[in-house]
Structure 1
Amino acid sequence: MSSIDNNLKKLGIILPTPAAPLANYVPAAVTGNLLVISGQLCLNAEGKLDEAHRGKVGDNVSLEAGQAAARLCAINVLAQVRVTLQGDLGRVRRCVRLGGFVNATPTCDSVPQVMNGASNLMVDILGDIGRHARSTVGVAQLPLDCAVEVEAMFEIALN
């Protein structure tokens, strides 16, 4: 069992079955030693959107609910990583980058703090190799009216 699997277990996180793409794209792509994960929504383990994570941060979604939504997105990112690497999370060498999209009101100034929900989880699970570059933007709308979407890039060991 990899240290990543051990950390997931310690945190009580069970990676869900990843959601299928909502449009014409693939959920993950590998090129060389890079694994790119398409944007993952804040869906729970049953593939449902909690009402607390539906809508806009700065309006009906609180900062804390936004952070929880970003954390769920990161869990879903890791679920896609696990499937793409055929269950071998030990192949992850580094989280290179996270990209965050926050469904926010035009005056919301807590967009970076919302994304900390995903960033903190990545470090909690991956340790130092989870420290990453990051971009976060506020957007007018996301699929299914989700509060947050997160995409990622990882360096992986080649087979």
Structure 2
Amino acid sequence: MSGLASWSASERLAELGIVLPVAAAPVANYVATVRTGSLLVVSGQLPLIEGRLAANGKLGGGITVEAGAAAARQCMINVLAQVQAALGRGCGLGSVKRVVRLGGFIACTPDFIQHATVMNGASDLAVAVFGEAGRHARSTIGVPSLPLDAPVEVEALFEIESW
């Protein structure tokens, strides 16, 4: 199953035209991933592309819902890069049995209410890459600000195969 899952996730990424970036190093006193048993927790990822934010600002205050969804998708790409780095190039995404949960933080104005639509940028990519195993539980909340003035941050929990 591991080989098939790895091939499928890799093939789906290629079909989507996605090349995973080098996983970003933590910028404070935390680690990017923690593995405990069959779970892999990925710390919140920002919509960084080559070290720069893909967008900055708040939803409802200059950032469109479409730009927010694109930022959430980029966050998910960065989550997948962390999974790849944590599990290694040999098995990496092929070790993912299920996307268990995504958590989305949306920097927004107090009257913004389309959090779910923005977070679908990450959720849709999880399903596109992992198929049914990419369907997950999710929380999405609005916050007044995020690091570096990012509009979105996404964290994740994966079930992975035992080594």
TM bucket normalised to smaller: over 0.9
Partners of 1:91 and 1:111 in 2: CA distance: 30
TM-score, structure 1 as length reference: 0.96
- Name the amino acid aligned to 2:77: I
Query: How many residues end up aligned between the 2 structures?
Result: 156
Residue in structure 1 matched with residue 3 of structure 2 by the alignment: none
> Which residue among 82, 86, 102 is the counterpart of 1:98?
102
Partners of 1:64 and 1:24 in 2: CA distance: 32
Following superposition, the deviation at residue 66 of structure 1 comes to 0.1
2:37 matches 1:32: yes
Task: Please list every run of 5 or more consecutive structure 1 residues that lacks an aligned counterpart in the other structure.
Answer: none
Residue in structure 2 matched with residue 141 of structure 1 by the alignment: 145
Residue in structure 2 matched with residue 73 of structure 1 by the alignment: 75
Following superposition, the deviation at residue 18 of structure 1 comes to 1.1
**3-state SS of 1:22 partner:** coil
Task: Please list every run of 5 or more consecutive structure 2 residues that lacks an aligned counterpart in the other structure.
Answer: 1-5
Partners of 1:113 and 1:139 in 2: CA distance: 16
Partners of 1:104 and 1:98 in 2: CA distance: 19
Please identify runs of 4+ aligned residues in structure 1 that moved more than 6 A. none
Following superposition, the deviation at residue 30 of structure 1 comes to 0.2
Partners of 1:49 and 1:157 in 2: CA distance: 32
TM-score, structure 2 as length reference: 0.94
Partners of 2:8 and 2:115 in 1: CA distance: 31
Partners of 1:83 and 1:19 in 2: CA distance: 10
